[in-house]
Chain A
Amino acid sequence: MQSWLYILLFMIVAVFVPFAAILTARILGPRKPNPIKQSTYECGMETVGESWVQFKAQYYVFALIFLVFDVETVFLFPWAISLNALPLFAVVEGVIFILILVSGLVFTWRKGLLEWN
């Protein structure tokens, strides 16, 4: 419990320090807004069209594959820590778990889901 209290205090300080920097900049800097200065940047031209461009579907596919593998690694953490105390059978079992997920990766590869176009 002690260590997590430390982390909480650390989070407070870690958010406070850059906040203080931005506050200092806001106090010290001039404040002369005008519409041209505040207009959105598009290589010196007037902006064309909406700012929120269409979301490319391929990002979603990569995020999904990332999710599967991230959950896999989270499951592998307890296995990795307790390897020293477990017999060889447990290691082989973990390897089989990894191989099942590798077969998932091979499936997505062969299906062409990892292509970027």
Chain B
Amino acid sequence: MQDPVGFLYNWLIGILTRWGLAAAVAHVLITLLGILILVICAMVLDIFLVWIERKVVARFQDRLGPNRIGPWGIFQPFADIIKLLIKEDITPAGADVIVFNLAPILSLASVLLLWAVLPIAGVIYGVDLNVALLYIVAAGAIGTLSIIMAGWASNNKFALVGAYRMVANMISYEIPMVLILLIPAILTGSMSMLTISRAQSQYWFVLVVPLATLVFLISAIAELGRSPFDLNEGESEIVSGFHIEYSGMKFGLFYAGELLHAFTFGAFISIMFFGGYNGPGVTQMPILGIFYFVLKAMIGYWVIMWVKYTVPRIRIDHMLYFNWKFLVPFSLAILIMTALTHKLLSGYSTPVYILGMLCANLILGWITIEILRARARKQRQSVDPAAQVIAEQVHH
């Protein structure tokens, strides 16, 4: 059982060529079968994620969540899907029909495309692209495009304003995300997800670049459009934003796409910084990698949910300031520091390397916190001159 995918592939190719099909056609058919299996697994996982999300948000809010349908409410998402499927398909007056219908399709498609490069185990992956990191950024951009399509085609002021703000948010936070994506590329010398996973068999990258992990987590949450950066689910602000006019299965696709996107980003964080499918016993039995991968991705997804249900929403201008005035300079500083220290320390033994990088990270983090504290002190002292006058009088 060292290579189940290869084994299945050879067996099926043997059968199909014996039936008389040309080898190329058989290859395409088997590839399509593999893709269908992967996509169906992703969608079934998506259904499971809806249930997890609802139970977890309920527990965070000190209530139970769905528990009527099936044990622990596990069939609730199926009931939701049936409800969404039999709802009427309302297209608002004046909406641009083709773009209106295409937006949810592209939104879910952009998330599904990311699953082509995820290494679920050492031997189970879609395709080992040698430019996987760039591919991820490109596929994510299709999702951003679908938001503008949804907002524009809805013929609704709120949808349009919501879409503008959401896209301004997403493109802003794409910069620190892509800059941090460069860090595993520096550490391994390759953009392929499989190579990055394999390179972490000795130690996880989070030990070497913890600051980068933190920045990637923050910018990933912003890129997903989830709280605390979710201007669009701001019911009190702009009434549900760009998916106001969507009802039924189209809304279901947006919602399912968002949850699957969150899980996929949890998977990315685990692949790039927490070792991916690596774990004890993976070299002997590669299938065990699936278990470790799903476990780590679930933990990543849990952290993303935890942040969502704990922290209040951030205003748009604060969000953009936070990105352009803090995260972008910070991630550039992390990039410069990581490149320099990696180059200087790469000749030494592993413990020296890890300790050196960790120290450099800690020093950079300490400098950043000192700068932020100095700025906060200056801002506090300059905010209220009347308070300063009173403070001086009290001191006298």
Q: How many residues belonging to A are interface residues under a CB distance threshold of 8 Å? A: 70
A95 to B86, CA, bound (A): 57
**Which of B212-220, B265-273, B292-300, B319-327 is found at the contact surface with chain A?**
B319-327
CB neighbours (8 Å) of B21 from chain A are none
Please pick, from B134, B161, B249, the residue contacting A53 in the complex, using a CB distance under 8 A: B161
B164:A37 contact, CB within 8 angstroms: no
Contact string, A67-108, partner B, CB cutoff 8 A, digits 1/0?
001100110110011111100100110110011001001000
A73:B179 contact, CB within 8 angstroms: yes
| Nearest CB of A to B100, in Å | 11
A77-B182, A77-B191 known; A91-B339 Cβ under 8 A: yes
A43 to B236, CA, bound (A): 11
14 A–B pairs (Cβ distance < 8 Å), ordered by A: A7-B116, A14-B112, A19-B105, A21-B85, A25-B86, A28-B85, A29-B89, A29-B248, A35-B93, A41-B92, A53-B160, A56-B164, A91-B343, A98-B336
Q: Which residue in chain A gives the minimum CB-CB distance to B316?
A: A116
B109 interface residue (CB < 8 Å to A) = yes
B28 interface residue (CB < 8 Å to A) = yes
Those of B109-134 within 8 Å (CB) of chain A: 109, 112-113, 116, 126-130, 133-134
A76:B155 contact, CB within 8 angstroms: no
Please pick, from A3, A7, A39, A42, the residue contacting B93 in the complex, using a CB distance under 8 A: A39
Please pick, from B172, B189, B320, B339, the residue contacting A94 in the complex, using a CB distance under 8 A: B339
| Nearest CB of A to B190, in Å | 6
- Interface size class on chain B is 35 or more
A10-B126, A25-B249, A40-B94 known; A31-B39 Cβ under 8 A: no
A80:B186 contact, CB within 8 angstroms: yes
Those of A1-25 within 8 Å (CB) of chain B: 2-3, 5-7, 9-11, 13-15, 17-19, 21-22, 24-25
Contact string, A104-116, partner B, CB cutoff 8 A, digits 1/0?
0100010000101
CB neighbours (8 Å) of B154 from chain A are 40
B35:A13 contact, CB within 8 angstroms: yes
CB neighbours (8 Å) of A66 from chain B are 171-172, 174-175
Q: 13 new A-B pairs (CB below 8 Å) besides A29-B89, A109-B324?
A: A5-B31, A7-B127, A10-B112, A17-B43, A25-B89, A30-B86, A31-B89, A39-B92, A66-B171, A70-B174, A76-B335, A83-B186, A116-B317
